[in-house]
Amino acid sequence: MRTLSPRLLLIGSAAFAGLAVVVPVLLSVLGDVPPLAAVQLAATLLVLAAAVAIVAGVRRTDGKALRIDTRTKRQDTALTRTERDLARLATILDGLAGRLEEAARHQSGSVLAALGEDRMALATQAGRLDELAESVARIDAVVLRNADGLRELRDLVHDQTAGGVAQTVREIGERLDALGGEVRDGHAELAGAVRQNYAQLEALVDVRALLQPRAPLPRLRGWAASPDVLRLLVERVAVDHPKIIVECGSGASSVWLGYAVQRFGGGRVIALEHDERFAHSSRDLVLAHGLQDVVEIRHAPLTSWHDGDEVIPWYDTRALDDLTDIGLVFVDGPPGATAPLARYPALPVLLPRCAPDAWFVLDDGARAAEREIADRWLAEFPEITGSSFPAEKGAMVLRRTGR
């Protein structure tokens, strides 16, 4: 049986209260009920009306609370259903992200194969062909010069006496000997260039296979570090796991070092760059390879570094204020044209911030200035030992022994 709503109960109780007053009054006026009995009857009816009103109010409050509770339960149910839907969606998104990441790795691998290894191999072969062409051109020039000389001598032979012919023959022999020597020198130079190209290609293949870069990289050699030096640096990261690697200069080598840190564990790579535009380019390169968490390019303009009366332009040392326990230093800057001994401050500035067994690698060791820098380091810092490394452009490898 359906019960009345609180609103109807209130209306009914109000009407009942009105009747409770009017009816006893009428009955008393008509003489059917004594006045005292009429008053008692009216009071009783008013009490009943009040009780009905109270019940109606309580029911109205309970009904509102019930409706609120019901609405709250519906909202809780909806939230629970939404949470389940979001959890399912998150699972789907995670799976999709994993598939996308796998697809990206596959795609980057394809790009690397198409644009990275092939481009580097072609660049290496192109460099080799250029060197071969230069050597052949030099040999050809020598042959042409001597051919011209031989034609002149041939013409002279027809006009010479017997003694003159003998002299001419001797001159021809001397020129032929000189030509043979130049050809042998050109052949040896050509063979050396071929061996060096092979060595660099071999080192690049080793490093690329070990670190597997996710995107193409700029060319190495020339101004950039050569693959054989990079392989040396990667070996040091793999063996020593340095907490901090400092690179004087930035570029492709910064990215390779970042990959080595990711591959073998360790800390961070801090590259100092004096050229602000090149620093931005290096940061973009680092970001393109997703190495921004392990590689930091710091713009450090060249300032005057003083050591007694000696003044050398070097990186602003304020860029090093937060660095300690450096395990590996790659000195490939400032550029050699900056000053005769522009790279000398690297060791005296960084050594106090280095770990007890830190390594220094000085690139371009075949240049006279770098050889002088290495000799000074070894002479002035007895705790440092070092040796040359047979890299394409030469290198010096030094270690802090703690003596």
Average pLDDT over residues 144-156: 58
Q: Which of 3-17, 200-214, 389-403 holds the top average pLDDT? A: 389-403
CATH of the domain at 230: 3.40.50.150
Q: Does 369 share its domain with 261?
A: yes
pLDDT at residue 175 is higher than 70: no
pTM of the model: 0.57
> Does some domain include residue 92?
no
Report the SS3 class of residue 251.
Answer: coil
Q: Given pLDDT bands bounded at 50, 70 and 90, which one contains residue 108?
A: very low
Q: State which of 151, 179, 209 marks the end of a domain.
A: 209
Rounded Cα distance, 325 and 351, in Å? 10
Q: Does 226 share its domain with 325?
A: yes
Report the SS3 class of residue 307.
Answer: strand
Rounded Cα distance, 202 and 194, in Å? 12
Q: Which of 9-13, 95-99, 176-180, 227-231 holds the top average pLDDT? A: 227-231
Amino acid of residue 147: A
> Does some domain include residue 102?
no
Q: Does 391 share its domain with 282?
A: yes
Q: Does 13 share its domain with 132?
A: no
Q: Does 133 share its domain with 58?
A: no
Query: Structural domain tally of the chain?
Result: 3
Cβ(403)–Cβ(371) under 8 Å?
no
Cβ(225)–Cβ(389) under 8 Å?
no
Rounded Cα distance, 124 and 122, in Å? 5
pLDDT at residue 223 is higher than 90: no
> Does some domain include residue 88?
no
CA dihedral 362, 363, 367, 370 (to 10 degrees): -20
Q: Does 237 share its domain with 321?
A: yes
Rounded Cα distance, 173 and 176, in Å? 5
> Does some domain include residue 104?
no
Neighbours of 305 (CB within 10 A): 19
The tens digit of pLDDT for each residue in 242-280 reads 999 999 999 989 999 999 999 997 789 999 999 999 999
Q: Given pLDDT bands bounded at 50, 70 and 90, which one contains residue 213?
A: confident
> Does some domain include residue 95?
no
Range of the domain at 148: 111-209
For residue 205 the two structure tokens come to 């293949």
pLDDT at residue 96 is higher than 90: no
